[in-house]
Amino acid sequence: MPMQPASTEIASRTAAIIEELKDLEGPLLPILHGIQEEFGHVPQAALPVIADGLNLSRAEVHGVVTFYHDFRAQPAGRHVLKLCQAEACQSMGSDAVAAKVKQLLGIDFHETTRDGSVTLEPVYCLGLCACSPSAMLDGEVIGRLDDEKIEEIVAEVRP
Q: Which residues line the annotated binding site for [2Fe-2S] cluster?
A: 84, 89, 125, 129
Residue 118 half-sphere exposure toward CB, CA atoms < 13 A: 23
- Closest CB 111 distance from other proteins, rounded Å: 17
The smaller minimum CB distance to other proteins, of residues 7 and 38, is found at 38
Whole-number Å distance between alpha carbons of 149 and 13: 39
Minimum distance from residue 70 beta carbon to other proteins (Å): 4
DSSP-derived letter for residue 107 is -
Q: Enumerate the known binding-site residues.
A: 84, 89, 125, 129
**Least Cβ distance, residue 12 to other proteins (angstroms):** 22
Among 122, 34, 46, 40, residue whose Cα is nearest residue 84: 122
What's 65's DSSP letter?
H
Q: Which is nearer to other proteins, 28 or 81 (CB)?
A: 28
Neighbouring CB atoms inside 10 A of 3's CB total 6
Q: Closest separation between CB of residue 69 and other proteins, Å?
A: 4
Q: In a 3-state reduction of DSSP, which class is residue 79? A: strand
Q: Binding residues for other proteins, per CB under 8 A? A: 24-30, 32-33, 54, 63-64, 67-71, 86-92, 123-132, 134, 136, 139-144
Name the residue nearer to other proteins (CB basis): 15 or 71.
71
- Specify the length of the chain in residues: 159
